[in-house]
A and B are shown apart, each in its own frame.
Chain A
């Protein structure tokens, strides 16, 4: 008995540093953050309980409603990024000469800091930048498109950057999924006279479904939570057209120290994220026949 108590103590000594840090920086935020959402708090004075006031203000604020709409609109990156990532994974799932170069090339944006990605795409999106130059050269436009200065376009320009920097990440996940599919299945299908197209839809897609589920959850949650790109490239502008829900929380919390409102917005987003995850599991789970 004494020995086992000593063993238990040793085990918990090993675990203590990680447990303290997780309690302070992963569990505490959920509890304290939910409490702050119902208070007025500016970091200096003690929090004052205000009930549902923050949420009432939130849903009366057109800016927040607009931000929520933008975050919902942001979901259109999900199918685009997933289809392109599966295409990339299929294209690099072989041993052709030079294939490693291509894999690395597609992954490059993933290992680049978002602040440099912002700088690079500011160059690309410039009135005289490469994108406008190419469109003008193709005689598709006469006047440059204000990718980041036109309030009808800016959000989509920011979304494109999200797709661009995320592709490689999902490609790797799909590549792992593809490589887990046994070559025998394809050989059997070939013997049965299946063509490449049939093999893709009848074998690859069904067997890849668990990976597709995982990736679509990840990218949905990332899409509704997107705000780094906004903070770097547009700061919510022009005319607040690129505000996303979490960028709203960032502005109100970090910039204005209105933590009550900011955490109320974050809490709304947490509920949205949990709903999305649940919906995915509910409707995309592979069904057993």
Chain B
């Protein structure tokens, strides 16, 4: 037997052993991680199962609502419970109100926070440090007082039961101003100088250079504000007095109050309330799950 033949006779088998070794190493790694995955899964069940139970209950049409063991999949699934929600309450009006409140809060927050952030980031003027300090100080002011006094203020301004009354107190926030200030500080000075040479005034610099370059930060602030505004409950429930002005978060309570005996319909209402914002969350996770790091990048 020539040496080449010997080689070819050995080579395949050695390759298989190597491959086999690789595969078992991979397998061993996964097996070693099994307790890790098990722990992750148990914890995930605790956070996700209540949602899943609600979804299954809303989609099911037959059987006892609270049967045991609870069904893991919908029984005779159909959308009748969802249709009944629309028949019971004016869900479309609630959706419209939620969109209106969230939309106005997002637009207002972006405008007011970026306007305030620009001079703080890029202009020299007397009182700059004081103003910035005052804005940051609002973060440590006792917010538990605000709620009650803001209700008094909104009542005195005759803004109860209006979108303005819900939105106005939430527009100027230290976090939003801080976020935009950081984004504006990252804009290269050369661009601003060049624009000044071309005769641009502060407003034009803000509008044509600053805002376009701060789009990622604007996007992050928009999404975080949207989710907060959509989810807020106590404040709109206090300001809005007539049911036709309720946002979803408040209106869905109305459903469980008057029809609590129809568990499946209440569950369907809960699903319809969270679905829009969960979709937003699933597509924009990185803004939430990386904290400020993700927001700035």
A residues neighboring B (CB under 8 Å): 4, 7-8, 10-12, 14-15, 17-19, 21-22, 24-30, 32-34, 36, 43, 88, 91-92, 96, 98, 100, 102-116, 118-124, 126, 128-130, 133, 136-137, 164, 167-168, 172-173, 175-176, 225, 228, 231-232, 246, 249-250, 253-254, 259, 262-263, 266-267, 269-270, 273-274, 277
Contacts and interface: CB of A to CB of B under 8 A. Distances in A.
Contact of B128 (A11, A114, A266): A11
A116 B148 contact: no
A274 B145 CA distance: 13
B182 interface: no
Contacts of B112: 17-18, 21
Contacts of A107: 281, 285, 288-289
B32 to A, nearest CB: 11
Chain A interface helix/strand/loop/mixed: helix
A259 B263 contact: no
Given A119-B270, A270-B145, A15 B151 contact: no
B274 A112 contact: yes
A107 B281 CA distance: 10
Interface string B271-297: 001100110011001001111110000
A104 B289 contact: yes
Interface stretch (B3-11, B186-194, B247-255): B247-255
Identify the interface centre among B43, B57, B120: most chain A CB within 10 Å of its CB. Answer: B43
Interface string B147-191: 111111101000000000000110110000100000000000000
B273 A11 contact: no
A273 B146 CA distance: 14
Closest 6 pairs (CB-CB, A-B): A270-B142, A18-B116, A128-B66, A29-B149, A11-B119, A21-B172
A120 B50 contact: yes
B54 interface: yes
Interface of B: 33, 36-37, 39-40, 43-44, 46-51, 53-54, 57, 65-66, 68-70, 111-113, 115-116, 118-120, 123-126, 128, 131, 134-135, 138, 140-142, 144-153, 155, 168-169, 171-172, 177, 202-203, 206, 227, 230-234, 238, 248-250, 252-253, 256, 263, 266-267, 269-270, 273-274, 277-278, 281-282, 285, 288-293
